[in-house]
């Protein structure tokens, strides 16, 4: 498990690096956030004999990772970058996202999108077998769907929308990805 967290930290650093190069440098309190690896925890049996080392769950580190994945996925979905989506989405979710991207491309539609901020991300559920973590995100986004002639079909390119999304992440033991998004739900905008 410790090796998985090291890999997770490396992936998070790569994503941060790529996002920083695209979005510019962050200032303020978020500029101080750095991924933190979990410290090993010794599990003892009833006789206080060590039975195994496991990595303690680092909730803040996971939420940082989840924010990065959320930002990466919504940006990739808006711009139609399927290869990025393949890294983070389980097959059913990927199929739904890809179907929508293909429909937009067939109709010549474009999405004008900016992720302004993610003011809140919190874990609302954890389950074992398989390990799943559900995260609620509040985000501020600019979204507008335009037709091939540039007319706005949905949304507004001048208004920041406040959205609530609930995503479920599932731990996977594969070379491709340690965590994948298995469910996404959008809820009503918040005030």
Which domain, by its residues, includes 61?
2-187
CATH of the domain at 75: 3.10.450.240
pLDDT at res. 116: 95
Q: Compute how many other C-beta atoms are within 10 angstroms of the C-beta atom of residue 68.
A: 21
Long-range contacts of 137-141 (CB under 8 A, 24+ apart): 137/66, 137/67, 137/70, 137/164, 137/165, 137/166, 137/167, 138/162, 138/163, 138/164, 138/190, 139/70, 139/74, 139/115, 139/163, 139/164, 139/165, 140/115, 140/116, 141/74, 141/113, 141/114, 141/115, 141/116
pLDDT tens, residue by residue, 130-175: 889 999 999 999 999 999 999 999 989 999 999 999 999 999 875 5
Domain total for the chain?
1
List helix spans (H) across the chain: 2-23, 59-79, 82-88, 91-107
- pLDDT at residue 70 in the model: 97
Q: Is the pLDDT of residue 94 over 60?
A: yes
For a pLDDT cut of 90, what percent of the chain falls above it?
Answer: 59
Check if the beta carbon of residue 94 is closer than 8 Å to that of residue 87: no
Asked if residue 178 has pLDDT above 90, the reply is: no
What pLDDT, in 10s, does the model give residues 34-50?
333 344 444 444 555 44
pTM (whole model) above 0.75: no
Q: How high is the pLDDT of residue 14?
A: 54
Structure confidence at residue 191 (pLDDT): 43
* Half-sphere exposure at residue 15, Cβ-oriented, CA atoms within 13 angstroms: 23
pLDDT of residue 30 exceeding 50: no
Average pLDDT of the chain, as a whole number: 79
Per the CB < 8 A criterion, the answer to whether 65 and 119 are in contact is no
């Amino acid at each position: 498990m410790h090796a998985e967290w090291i890999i997770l930290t490396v992936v998070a650093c790569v994503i941060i690096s790529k996002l920083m190069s695209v979005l510019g440098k962050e200032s303020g309190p978020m500029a101080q956030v750095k991924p933190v690896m979990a410290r090993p925890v010794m599990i003892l049996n009833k006789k206080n004999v060590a039975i195994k080392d496991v990595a303690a769950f680092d909730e803040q580190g996971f939420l940082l990772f989840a924010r990065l994945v959320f930002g990466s996925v919504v940006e990739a979905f808006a711009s139609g970058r399927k290869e990025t989506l393949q890294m983070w989405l389980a097959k059913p979710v990927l199929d739904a996202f890809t179907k929508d991207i293909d429909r937009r491309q067939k109709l010549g539609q474009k999405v004008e999108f900016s992720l302004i901020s993610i003011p809140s991300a919190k874990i609302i559920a954890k389950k074992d077998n398989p390990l799943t973590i559900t995260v609620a995100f509040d985000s501020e986004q600019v979204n507008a769907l335009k037709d091939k002639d540039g007319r706005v079909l949905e949304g507004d390119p001048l208004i920041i929308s406040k959205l609530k999304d609930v995503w479920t992440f599932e731990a996977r033991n594969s070379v491709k990805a340690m965590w994948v998004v298995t469910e996404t739900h959008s809820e009503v905008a918040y005030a």
